[in-house]
């Protein structure tokens, strides 16, 4: 049996108590993917609350909407880096066959391709290198331009409708569970909070949406239509940083 002093020393030496700080690459990658998955869940909320008629699989529409928000909200270089990191996560998920919450989604390879297609399709000259890095042919890239135009046209009237004229009213409420000093959870929480702040500047919703960052016991993120809430599980942050070790 361990004495109290020895037990304390063992506890202090366990990884949970000595989580190393994140590298700059890990932080960037985690933030990019947090934005991507948050926008994806936000798309589910918007589709539900505005009853948007989706003619494709809702999961694919949510992926596309997520890329559009990245492209509309960030400068070119940041947007490209975020799109690239999101696609990379899908490709890693595909390789390791880790389907946490992707049951309804297209295959991960297809999701990576769709992400790059939608982003590069927004500027096929300026983003030709990105498309080439992902093995996309010129012909495919031209088809992506067409797909992107259709996506922009589809979402434009809804985005108009969603624009908040009453700037003082916030439609999205953020909350988070206190989780101590875990670096990944901290970066993840801050990224979600930043995005909620950003979208509250422009987004109007028919009903208030709550966004919660909390531990759920699994690497997941989901929209709950009963509660009208998005839950972003901190376990997902831990999963993401492991991809950049």
The site for Zn ion (CB under 5 A) is made up of 59, 62
**Phi, psi angle pair for 229, to nearest 5°:** -145, 150
- DSSP-assigned letter for residue 163: B
Separation of alpha carbons 16 and 112, rounded Å = 32
> At its nearest, how many Å lie between Zn ion and the CB of residue 62?
5
Q: Is 1 exposed, middle or buried (0-12, 13-18, 19+ CB in 10 A)?
A: exposed
Enumerate the β-bridge partners of residue 230: 211, 223
Which is nearer to Zn ion, 59 or 71 (by Cβ)? Answer: 59
- How far apart, in Å, are the Cα atoms of 24 and each of 28, 60, 185, 241, 243? 6, 31, 15, 11, 13
Which is nearer to Zn ion, 26 or 229 (by Cβ)? Answer: 229
Q: Is 34 exposed, middle or buried (0-12, 13-18, 19+ CB in 10 A)?
A: buried
Terminal-to-terminal C-alpha distance of the chain: 36
> At its nearest, how many Å lie between Zn ion and the CB of residue 224?
12
> At its nearest, how many Å lie between Zn ion and the CB of residue 37?
9
Which is nearer to Zn ion, 36 or 130 (by Cβ)? Answer: 36
Which is nearer to Zn ion, 59 or 113 (by Cβ)? Answer: 59
> At its nearest, how many Å lie between Zn ion and the CB of residue 70?
16
> At its nearest, how many Å lie between Zn ion and the CB of residue 99?
12
Which is nearer to Zn ion, 38 or 119 (by Cβ)? Answer: 38
> At its nearest, how many Å lie between Zn ion and the CB of residue 106?
11
Separation of alpha carbons 77 and 146, rounded Å = 22
Which is nearer to Zn ion, 62 or 68 (by Cβ)? Answer: 62
Tell me the two tokens of residue 147: 């797909």
Helix (H, G, I), strand (E, B) or coil at 45: helix
């Amino acid at each position: 049996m361990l004495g109290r002093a020895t037990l304390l020393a063992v506890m202090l030496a366990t990884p949970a108590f000595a989580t190393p700080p994140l590298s700059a690459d890990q932080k960037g990658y985690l933030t990019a993917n947090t934005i991507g998955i948050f926008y994806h869940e936000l798309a589910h909320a918007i589709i539900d609350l505005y009853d948007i008629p989706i003619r494709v699989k809702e999961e694919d529409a949510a992926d596309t909407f997520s890329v559009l928000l990245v492209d509309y909200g960030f400068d070119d270089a940041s947007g490209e880096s975020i799109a690239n990191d999101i696609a990379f996560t899908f490709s890693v998920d595909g390789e390791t066959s880790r389907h946490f919450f992707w049951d309804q989604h297209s295959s991960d390879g297809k999701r990576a391709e769709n992400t790059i297609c939608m982003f590069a399709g927004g500027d096929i000259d300026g983003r030709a290198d990105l498309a080439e890095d992902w093995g996309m042919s010129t012909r495919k890239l031209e088809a992506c331009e067409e797909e992107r135009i259709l996506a922009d046209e589809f979402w434009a009237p809804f985005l108009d409708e969603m624009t908040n004229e009453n700037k003082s009213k916030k439609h999205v409420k953020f909350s988070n569970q206190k989780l101590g000093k875990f670096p990944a959870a901290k970066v993840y929480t801050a990224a979600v909070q930043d995005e909620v702040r950003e979208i509250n500047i422009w987004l109007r919703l028919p009903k208030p949406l709550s966004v919660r960052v909390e531990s759920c016991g699994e690497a997941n993120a989901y929209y709950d239509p009963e509660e009208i809430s998005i839950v972003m599980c901190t376990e997902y942050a831990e999963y993401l940083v492991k991809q950049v070790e």
